[in-house]
Amino acid sequence: MFRPILAALLAATALNACAAATPEQQIVNDAASALGGRERVLAVKTLVLEGGGTNGNLLQDMTPDASGQAFLVSGYRRAIDIAGGRARTEQTRTPNFAYFQGMAPQRQLSGIDGDVGYNVAANGAATRVPNTTARDRRAELLHHPLTIVRAALDPAARLTHARTAGGERVVDVTIADGSTCTLAIDATTRLPTRVVSMTDNANLGDVAVETSFADYQDVAGLKLPARLTMKTDKYTTATLQLTQQRVNADTGDLAAPAAAASAAPIAGPPTPVVTIEEVAKGIWLLAGQSHNSAVVEFDDHLTLIEAPQSEARTMAVIAEARKLRPGKPLTQLVSTHFHSDHTGGLRAAVAEGLTVITHEGNAGYYADAAKRPHTLAPDALARNPKSLKIETVGEERQIADRTMSVELYHIAGNPHADTLLMAYFPKQRVLVEADAFSPGSATQPYAANLLENITKRQLKVERVVPLHGRVTPFTEVVRAVP
Ligand SMILES: [Zn+2]
């Protein structure tokens, strides 16, 4: 006697489900069907992907637009525990360019386990990564057709803004923890084509991180992509061709190593420590951590060389620079090159009203960087917008008044970057440079070219003030060149 009631209930439920299929749900349902059906998709517990490809050299390439420097990736293995929200990636990467750490292959191991992101070094030591990196890795868990469609099928997920664009149908997905991403499927095959999530990048501001899927293959009754391409903004950060894909295979232990799991969360960059050393009258080295700056005193103003790392670091450096000569305004920033670690404080310097002086090859990128939206993590310039004041240098430029003279030169042909400037003080015989020579570095792949540029211009350098490391006699540069 219960049967008719049960049947009626089931029929009503089915009818409701049909009637309630919004355009948003239809996109997710279509994707699930194309991948092998809702039940098969929901039955997947783990995924193990293996293969190889390339990694890009994001904002560390020869030019701001990137010249194609890459790391070749081999031995790639990514194991994902879908329900557990855990993943671990191992790979070996080998640079196809003159890398500052040398050309030897590097084994890398990184992972995410809930809120804990971690890296494991070659010697086995595990460290916790900053919360922002962990957040990006959690978002990346959804950057696969199976994980995003499963998440979107969850009744707790909120699906919004169904639309058609080009040959794609697109829907925004907000999952239970509040994070949002966008799923695009092919309008014809209904297979997922892309997942996009937004994140904050200190240099680029609000950026889209996109993984696109191609080369779908049959795996255990499912269709899975064998080719994945990842981009941050317009930059390709990874390409992967998978040679093996296993569903519900043993992933091994994906728990965060104890050293990382028990470490305190890292909420922001380290507290800035700024030390001051007078290199010569009117020239100071501001050091204290991994990236240095220099301050130069002119008759009526101060000039800062380099705004590195982060807003916090650069603001601390600017504050110390202003204390050196309280009567003189700090008005200029010389930026040696565009690499992300040397320009993390560029926007802070613009917010502080400094005029930026840099190689002409950096100008377009800096103009863009100063204008980009930073709504996800508003910085000083986002809170107080100012337009960029910029002066560019081609091969050389002198900045001089009656008390100080500095010559800026392009370090031409350097394999580290096409847009590197060095600053030479002829009277003091001091050279300030970034990355072309870093004392204490195990390899010095850029020093020969630096020496060539110094010789070509007949500079009488006695001491080098590096933007990584300590003040060094020039003989150290000569010694570093075989
Ligand atoms: Zn660099």
pLDDT value of residue 176: 86
- Give me ligand 1 centre to Cα 466, in Å: 12
| Average pLDDT score over residue span 97-114 | 93
Whose tokens are 């009754």? That residue is 221
- Give me ligand 1 centre to Cα 421, in Å: 11
Residue type, 37: G
- Give me ligand 1 centre to Cα 317, in Å: 19
- Give me ligand 1 centre to Cα 148, in Å: 36
- Give me ligand 1 centre to Cα 462, in Å: 23
- Give me ligand 1 centre to Cα 49, in Å: 33
- Report the C-alpha gap between 409 and 399 in whole angstroms: 11
- Give me ligand 1 centre to Cα 245, in Å: 37
Under DSSP, the state recorded for 345 is T
Higher pLDDT, 233 or 5: 233
472 forms beta bridges with 464
Under DSSP, the state recorded for 330 is E
- Give me ligand 1 centre to Cα 66, in Å: 13
- Report the C-alpha gap between 168 and 166 in whole angstroms: 5
pLDDT value of residue 19: 58
| The pLDDT of residue 310 is above 50 | yes
pLDDT tens across 244-267, in order? 999 999 999 999 999 999 999 999
| The pLDDT of residue 16 is above 70 | no
- Report the C-alpha gap between 389 and 367 in whole angstroms: 9
- Report the C-alpha gap between 170 and 297 in whole angstroms: 56
b/e code 284-302 from CB counts within 10 Å (16+ = b) = bbbbbbebbbbbbbbeebb
- Give me ligand 1 centre to Cα 205, in Å: 20
- Give me ligand 1 centre to Cα 315, in Å: 21
pLDDT tens across 214-231, in order? 999 999 999 999 999 999
Report CA-CA distances (Å) from 359 to 341, 386, 391, 411, 423: 17, 21, 9, 10, 12
- Give me ligand 1 centre to Cα 281, in Å: 28
- Give me ligand 1 centre to Cα 416, in Å: 6
| Average pLDDT score over residue span 35-47 | 97
- Give me ligand 1 centre to Cα 417, in Å: 7
b/e code 360-391 from CB counts within 10 Å (16+ = b) = ebbbebbeebbebebeeeebbbbeeeeebebe
| Average pLDDT score over residue span 186-209 | 97
| The pLDDT of residue 482 is above 60 | yes
- Give me ligand 1 centre to Cα 321, in Å: 23
pLDDT value of residue 15: 47
- Give me ligand 1 centre to Cα 266, in Å: 25
pLDDT band per the 50, 70, 90 thresholds, residue 109: very high
In 20-133, where do the E strands start and end?
A: 46-56, 70-81, 86-95, 106-113, 116-120, 126-128
- Give me ligand 1 centre to Cα 64, in Å: 11
| Average pLDDT score over residue span 379-383 | 97
- Give me ligand 1 centre to Cα 419, in Å: 10
- Give me ligand 1 centre to Cα 475, in Å: 22
pLDDT value of residue 458: 98
Q: Quick one: CA torsion of 349, 267, 156, 205, rounded to 10 degrees?
A: 10
Of 154, 151, 155, 206, give the one whose Cα is nearest residue 183: 151
- Give me ligand 1 centre to Cα 313, in Å: 17
- Give me ligand 1 centre to Cα 449, in Å: 14
- Report the C-alpha gap between 306 and 317 in whole angstroms: 10
- Give me ligand 1 centre to Cα 53, in Å: 24
pLDDT band per the 50, 70, 90 thresholds, residue 18: low
Number of continuous H segments (helices) and E segments (strands) in the chain: 12, 26
- Give me ligand 1 centre to Cα 248, in Å: 43
- Give me ligand 1 centre to Cα 342, in Å: 7
| Average pLDDT score over residue span 63-83 | 95
φ/ψ (deg, to 5) at 294: -130, 155
Mean pLDDT, the chain, whole residue set: 95
pLDDT tens across 327-353, in order? 999 999 999 999 999 999 999 999 999
Q: Hey, how many other C-beta atoms are within 10 angstroms of the C-beta on 440?
A: 10
- Give me ligand 1 centre to Cα 62, in Å: 9
pLDDT tens across 397-423, in order? 999 999 999 999 999 999 999 999 999
pLDDT value of residue 471: 98
DSSP per-residue codes, 355-404: EEEEEGGGHHHHHHHHHS---SS--HHHHS--PPPEEEESSEEEEE-SS-
- Give me ligand 1 centre to Cα 436, in Å: 8
| Average pLDDT score over residue span 355-384 | 97
Higher pLDDT, 270 or 195: 195
- Give me ligand 1 centre to Cα 224, in Å: 38
Task: Confirm if 74 and 106 have CB atoms less than 8 A apart.
Answer: no
- Give me ligand 1 centre to Cα 154, in Å: 44
- Give me ligand 1 centre to Cα 144, in Å: 33
Task: Confirm if 69 and 55 have CB atoms less than 8 A apart.
Answer: no
**pTM of the complete model:** 0.92
Percent over 90 (pLDDT), the chain = 91
- Give me ligand 1 centre to Cα 362, in Å: 13
- Give me ligand 1 centre to Cα 309, in Å: 11
- Report the C-alpha gap between 337 and 174 in whole angstroms: 39
pLDDT band per the 50, 70, 90 thresholds, residue 12: very low
- Give me ligand 1 centre to Cα 59, in Å: 9
- Report the C-alpha gap between 410 and 457 in whole angstroms: 11
b/e code 33-57 from CB counts within 10 Å (16+ = b) = ebbbebebbeebebbbbbbbbbbbb
Q: List Cβ neighbours of 146 (8 Å cut-off, separation of 6 or more).
A: 35, 41, 44, 47, 82, 222, 224
pLDDT tens across 423-471, in order? 999 999 999 999 999 999 989 999 999 999 999 999 999 999 999 999 9
Task: Confirm if 467 and 307 have CB atoms less than 8 A apart.
Answer: no
pLDDT value of residue 177: 85
- Give me ligand 1 centre to Cα 374, in Å: 24
Report CA-CA distances (Å) from 86 to 121, 198, 208, 417: 19, 20, 22, 37
